Structure formats: structure tokens, C-alpha cells
Structure 1
Amino acid sequence: MSFANLDIDRPFTHADAVRAGISDGQLRGPAHRQLFRGVYISADVTVDPWLLSRAVLLVASPNVVVARHTAAQLWRGVVPDSWRVHVTTLWPRAEVRASRRRHLGPDPARAETGGQLDVWGRMALDGVDARVSIDHTRTTVLRGIRLTDPVRTFLDLAEDLDLVELVVLGDSLVRQGLATPADLVGAAAEPGRHRRKARRAAAYVRPGVASAQESRLRMLLVLAGLPEPEVDIQLRDEDGELLRQLDLGYREEMVAVEYDGRQHIKRVEEWERDIDRREELADWDWRIVTVVSNGIWQQPERTLGRVVAALRARGRRVAVTSDEWERYFGRDRRTKESKGTSEQAS
């Protein structure tokens, strides 16, 4: 919809509205929605991270980029939900030191929107999580939006995500073809904040992981001290033709660990093919440990016991030797993590 040459289906400022002849009363009415202080949109438009990012950048200085959770969402990475838009203001080191002195008053460049900067040069806007960085590297533009690139997004989120969710993000970025495990390992080796966690998470990122839950299942096993299962096992015949693919497994012991997201299966045919596949694997003497969501969040101990039993039955002497998994899958974490994560690739 347009109003006196103003497209209200795209974010617009209060000053834009005044110039187009839209009154404050109309802005407060049912036809418009306030996204942020001084930024509006038609009430008929669906709000998503892309729209919110454009709205924030509309009132941001040119050295502000979308970052962390929001950047990950735009890159289609899997991260816990956040109701805020996350941005970073990029400043030269000298200007960061001087920013308190320089920004006690309104920023003339942002006078139109009231100078929405705090005393440290960050955006001061409700609904925006704003931080400052002197690192100007690894930024880009995606569909007209300034943001951190996938590798920088992974590194930045080491400050906010726990180890498991950082691995989930890394796996999802690799799945999208936006980075390789080597890219993440190399970047995490560089000096910077929270690099210890980033280095550890990057070392666990694997190609071929089909979903976030498979990442979590793999990390549950690893953090319990069990051998890391192979990802994306491909079973081929003598001619090299692909017969079956397994999510996770131990090839030598012929034990498959499969995450069953059956609640997401919408067609009976898919379910039937899955059943046929598992019966065929059993005929080939593969032992299958099937894990559903409850096996990760509500009953992780039972899942670990089942995998241990399956491996022992195939002659491998294993045991749970670490309780680190309880930090991420214990009782205090299950409700929070299972409800607070966007599964773009469930």
C-alpha cells in the first residue's frame, strides 16, 4: 500500500510519515504498527527477522550491522529464539575510547530519529540488543542488509550460546553450504573474545548433519565420554551404488543411532519408507537405536544406556565416563532448550 508516495508495506520513519501527510493519530490507529521507537509498518505486513532488520537499519548509522542471533536467522542457521534484533556498532578503537565524550548529546547524523545512541556509541532502542566492536572484518550485505558473515556470526555467538547450541549453529551453517568445518576451526584459532569455547565448538562441527536434533544427539553421546559416532554413514553395494544412509552410527560395530522426528512426518508414505528402511537394515545385521525428542530432553540417561548396551552387545567395551552432558541435557535445561530453539532444519 502507498500513501502519498510512501510505501507503508516497508518500514518507514516518523519523519517519513509526516512528509507523507500521515498524522500521529493515524500512526497510532489500527492501520499501522510500531516496530521500534520512530519506525512503523502497515499492520497488514507479516513481521519476520528480515523486516525487523530492515527497520533497525533504517534508523541506524552506517557502521551498524545485524549480528549474532538475528544474523544467524538471516543465514538460516539454527539458534535459540530471541525477541530482540541483535546488532553491532563497528567503531575504530580510538573512537570507542572517546565515545562517552562524543555521544553525551544527540548524534547530528541521527537527528531525524532522535539520536538513538547511548553513551558508548551503541544503538539505544527498545527491542534491540546492541553491542560495540572494533573488529570490522567479516561483514557483508545480504539482500540489502548489512550483517556479519556466517563465520563471524558463529564466533560472535560464542559469547551467548552454550557449547552444544554453538555446535548446532555450526553444523547448520555447514549444512547450508555457508562455511566448512575448516573455516570455523581456522577462524576460532585467531585471537579474540570467547575463543576458547569457539575453538572447542568448531572442533565438533561436522559436515553432513541433517538436523539440529542430530547435532544434539551426537553431542549428548560425546559429552558423556562415549566414542563419537560417524555422521552420515553411506552404505553402498559392490558397484558403489548408494543403498542406505544413516544419521549417526558406529560402522565397525554396525550400530546405528537414529533420531526419529516422526512428529514432523506429514505423509504416511514417508513413515512407511522409514519403517521399510529400518527393517532392511536389521536384515543386514545392523542394530538400530532409535531416539525421539524425549530421549534427548526428558530421558537422556536412558538414551546413553541404550547406546552403551548396543555397543557392548557388539563387543565394544564402552561406558559413560563423563557427566559433562548434564550441563546441557540435565533437568534444569530441558524445558528451556526444547521450547526456546528455532528448528529451521528439524
Structure 2
Amino acid sequence: MYIQTPLPPGFDSGAFTFGAARAAGVSAKRLRSRDVEHPFWGVCVAAGTVHNLNDRCRALHKRMPAGAFFSHATAARLHGMPLPADLEADPLLHVSVIDPDRTLRLAGVNGHRVATSPGVRSVAGLPVLEPISAWCQLASVLELNDLVAAGDHLLRPELGLATAPEIAARVVQYAGNRGALRLRVAEAMIRPRVESRRETFLRLFLVMCGFPEPETNRDIPLPRGKRRVRGDLVYFCYKVLVEYDGEQHRTDTAQFNRDAERLHDLREAGWLVITVRKGSTKEWVQGAVDAALRSRGWRP
């Protein structure tokens, strides 16, 4: 029975370059064995160890020149910004260098060159363009609502990615670049505390319908003895709450029970609660919100 020669220490886990392994005495034949994969030219990994974006970026990082960094949609994904499904699934990685360095040219890589040194952060040990600049770059490839959803993510306070004044200043600096006009429109539409793309889209739809803009993910005080609850899209002056139900809680009995108690307490306190689900039609949502707001005194 054939027994594969083990790779030397330092090459038996994680990514490494073909050149480094050869310099350490590993034969080219050994590096072409079935237990070694090559996600990028000149990069080796143990077979079956590249599963996601972070794994691919860590592998490519071994071939990136000094000063290069992940940018564009790749940087946005590494910062956790929600993107359309086609970009989330895109295997192409975006890497930028600073002029006059040569653009990285590899299969599976979209190389870019920028004129000046931008802010770069370390994300899971990887050099990544800072989040506001990455969001600005998305303006040339995303539709407006998708760009707003990604921008909402920047303002989630628990993530500490950006503040509204920082975003506004960067948008001004981005003038003259592709997508700058769309970016200015999106910057005026992003809101803090939004927890999902679906919440963003629901809020934008309500505004498009001509309803007042709701506040996003705010605490709602309840009568004494009841805990405060947080609502997705809140009309305080009308005591109307619009919730997006992603249905994740249905796999968690404890969370399901907490949500049921929460909705009961809200209704007991006089709130009208409209629950929107993935399958809800736009016509139903518009009609339900219109009826609820009108019943509380709102008029167009």
C-alpha cells in the first residue's frame, strides 16, 4: 500500500506558496498529490480546507505583494455588509495595490490600482480596505436599494464600523468617481440600528408608498411590570409597529415563546402590530399599514 509522505512542519496546515514549499525541500510531485489543492496559481492548501470567503482570502494573501489589500465587493463582504445573492456567491476576489505598484493578475482575482494610500484595517488577520471606502466602491455596481442596505449595516452601533458624520465626509470626497450621484442619494437614506436587508427593503417600500418614515429598531416602553421591547419599524405617535419576521425563530422554541409574549404585551399596551413575512405581497403590506395608520389618525 502506498503511504503518502507527510508534509514538513509549517506546511501541513493552512495555506503556503509553491515556492516556499520547494525551498523547504518538498518535491513538485508531492505538491501535485491529491491531498494538496491549488486555489490560486502558486498557492497550496490541504485538500478540502477552503470552504468560504475567509479561507479563499487567506490562501490568496500568501501571493499578495506587500501593501496590497482586499477591496471592493470582497472588502464589503469581509466587513459583513449584506449584498445581493450574485455578489455573495461570486468567487472572484478583488485586490488593490497603490500606484505605481503592479496590479495583481491571477485567475480568480480582479486586480485594481489606486492613486493614493487608503485606510486599511486588519480583519481576521487580512488587510482589508476600511468599510466606508469599500461601501463607496459598491456604488458603481449596486442598485440604490442594495446600496442603502449595505450602508445601513455600517451604522449598526454594536459593530463600530462607522458613524454618520464619517460616512457623509467620505461621500463628499468620493465626488467625481463612478456611482458618486447614487452614493449621495443612498447616504441620505441610510439609517442606524437596522439588522437585515429585508428590514431595509421594507422601510424603503413604506416610504415609497407615501407613509411617514418609521424609526428603526427602537425600544418601546410598556406599562410598569413589563419589560421594554424592541420593534423593527416603529411609528411612536400612532402606536403602530411593523415587524419583519424572518422566521428564524421557528427553529428555536424559547425564542418563539419570547416573541409571542412580546407581541401579546405590545397589543395589551394598545399597539397595532403588523407582521410582514417573506411571502407577504406588496399589496397586502401597503393595505395593512395604510389601514393601521389611518385608524390612528394619520392622513396622507
TM-score range, shorter chain: 0.7 to 0.9
Secondary structure of residue in 2 paired with 1:294: coil
1:185 maps to 2:168: yes
**Structure with higher RCO (Cα < 8 A, 6+ apart):** 1
Is the 1:138–1:151 contact (alpha carbons within 8 Å) kept by the matching residues of 2?
Answer: no
Aligned with residue 287 of structure 1, among 268, 272, 280: 272
CA shift digits 1:277-333 (9 cap, x unpaired): 1122112221111001223xxx22332232222222222123xxxxxxxxxxxxxxx
The size of the alignment, in residue pairs, is 288
Question: Which amino acid counterpart does residue 177 of structure 1 have in structure 2?
Answer: G
Is the 2:41–2:106 contact (alpha carbons within 8 Å) kept by the matching residues of 1?
Answer: yes
Q: 1:240–1:252: structure 2 CA closer, same or farther, 3 Å change rule?
A: farther
For 2:9 and 2:228, the matched residues in 1 are separated by 59
Question: Which amino acid counterpart does residue 271 of structure 1 have in structure 2?
Answer: F
1:86 maps to 2:109: no
Secondary structure of residue in 2 paired with 1:35: coil
Instruction: Within 5 Å, give how 1:160-309 maps onto structure 2.
Output: 160-175=141-156, 176-190=159-173, 191-193=175-177, 194-236=179-221, 243-295=228-280, 299-309=281-291
Partner of 2:32: 28
Q: CA RMSD in A?
A: 2.5
Partner of 1:18: 22
Q: 1:238–1:39: structure 2 CA closer, same or farther, 3 Å change rule?
A: same
| TM-aligned CA deviation for residue 36 of structure 1 | 0.8
Q: 1:139–1:284: structure 2 CA closer, same or farther, 3 Å change rule?
A: same
Q: 1:46–1:123: structure 2 CA closer, same or farther, 3 Å change rule?
A: closer
Range with bigger deviation, 64-73 or 133-142: 133-142
- For structure 2, the 5+ residue unaligned runs are none
Q: 1:135–1:264: structure 2 CA closer, same or farther, 3 Å change rule?
A: farther
Q: 1:291–1:71: structure 2 CA closer, same or farther, 3 Å change rule?
A: same
Runs (4+) off by over 4 Å:
237-242
- For structure 1, the 5+ residue unaligned runs are 100-120, 319-346
1:316 maps to 2:298: yes
**So what's the TM-score if we normalise by structure 2?**
0.86
Is the 2:167–2:187 contact (alpha carbons within 8 Å) kept by the matching residues of 1?
Answer: yes
Question: Which amino acid counterpart does residue 107 of structure 2 have in structure 1?
Answer: D
Question: Which amino acid counterpart does residue 267 of structure 1 have in structure 2?
Answer: D
Is the 2:234–2:240 contact (alpha carbons within 8 Å) kept by the matching residues of 1?
Answer: yes
Range with bigger deviation, 249-258 or 309-318: 309-318
Q: 1:250–1:263: structure 2 CA closer, same or farther, 3 Å change rule?
A: same
Question: Which amino acid counterpart does residue 34 of structure 2 have in structure 1?
Answer: P
| TM-aligned CA deviation for residue 216 of structure 1 | 1.9
Q: 1:2–1:151: structure 2 CA closer, same or farther, 3 Å change rule?
A: farther
Partner of 1:106: none
**So what's the TM-score if we normalise by structure 1?**
0.75
Is the 1:6–1:20 contact (alpha carbons within 8 Å) kept by the matching residues of 2?
Answer: no
Is the 2:191–2:216 contact (alpha carbons within 8 Å) kept by the matching residues of 1?
Answer: yes
